[in-house]
Amino acid sequence: MASGALQALIFDVDGTLAETESAHLEAFNRAFAEQGMDWVWTDEMYLHLLDVSGGKERILRYWQQLDPALDAQAVQGQIDQIHACKTTIYENLVNSGRVSLRPGVLALIHEARQAGLKLAIATTTTPVNIAALLRGPLGEHWREHFAAIGDAATAPLKKPHPQVYLQVLAELDLPACQCLVIEDSSNGLRAATAAGLATLITTNRYTLHHDFGDALRVVPDLRQVTLAQLRDWQNSWRA
């Protein structure tokens, strides 16, 4: 086997495995209302807040925009409470069928597993959100599909920091040249690139305006993407 032969696919979650952001936005606004707050994030506001990785971090960023003198440590407990409420609401939205995998994702996962590739997840979202999303399409034992999972619980330094990708590479016990990342955002691309990983971008309406100059390829979704193509693209990138 060639030293750089493709051995693993690493998936981001939000915006990559599924179009989740509309559900996240609804969950944030419902959580604000349940917590007795008068905040309402519009679609345009959320588009800009997505430049910040992590739900708690977005809440803090917005709060600091409202109050530049805000003491972040003083409100951390309230942020945690808002985010916990939001996570419960989001999980219920997913379980009700409001969110599904993006086109081509499930087919590529099955093709990669049949070919003997390892699969992994590298995300800034929470373990609860990952489970809620994947339990439906992959079944109760969805975790068995993935050799490694890095998330907000294991990698507190959020993208564009490469921490989560470096953790996943270590857990996979593979060099970066034998792995390929599938992402949807510039922060995700920057994190993967900093870890030495080739990255395929699948755009969505929240990330079309991002700079993807360092991407391996940029495609609208995975419908027309095969494992053979990924191998060819990765070989070209390594060359």
- pLDDT number for residue 238: 83
What's the mean per-residue pLDDT of the chain? Answer: 95
pLDDT tens-digit map of 81-128? 999 999 999 999 999 999 999 999 999 999 999 999 999 999 999 999
SS3 6: coil
Is the pLDDT assigned to residue 7 strictly greater than 90?
Answer: yes
Sign of CA pseudo-dihedral 208, 218, 8, 188:
negative
Q: What is the DSSP string of 111-161?
A: HHHHTT-EEEEE-SS-HHHHHHHHHHHH-TTGGGG-SEEE-TTT--S-TTS
- pLDDT number for residue 4: 73
- Concerning whether 14 is annotated as a catalytic residue, the answer is yes
- pLDDT number for residue 239: 78
Asked if residue 141 and residue 89 are part of one domain, the reply reads no
**Reported confidence tier of residue 42, pLDDT bands at 50, 70, 90:** very high
pLDDT tens-digit map of 13-23? 999 999 999 99
Is the pLDDT assigned to residue 3 strictly greater than 80?
Answer: no
Decide if 146 is inside a domain.
Answer: yes
Asked if residue 77 and residue 162 are part of one domain, the reply reads no
Yes or no: say if 225 and 105 are a contact pair by the CB < 8 Å rule.
no
What is the number of domains present in the chain? 2
Alpha-carbon span 227 to 231, nearest angstrom: 6
- How large is the average pLDDT for residues 48-54? 94
Yes or no: say if 71 and 94 are a contact pair by the CB < 8 Å rule.
no
Catalytic residue among 14, 38, 80, 232: 14
Asked if residue 140 and residue 46 are part of one domain, the reply reads no
Decide if 1 is inside a domain.
Answer: no
- How large is the average pLDDT for residues 152-158? 94
Choose the final residue of a domain: 69, 95, 121: 95
Domain residue limits at 182: 8-19+100-238
- pLDDT number for residue 1: 43
Asked if residue 86 and residue 182 are part of one domain, the reply reads no
Asked if residue 152 and residue 82 are part of one domain, the reply reads no
Asked if residue 104 and residue 84 are part of one domain, the reply reads no
Asked if residue 171 and residue 157 are part of one domain, the reply reads yes
Q: What percent of the chain has pLDDT over 70?
A: 99
Catalytic residue among 12, 43, 67, 80: 12
Decide if 63 is inside a domain.
Answer: yes
- Concerning whether 221 is annotated as a catalytic residue, the answer is no
**Reported confidence tier of residue 2, pLDDT bands at 50, 70, 90:** low
Confidence (pTM): 0.90
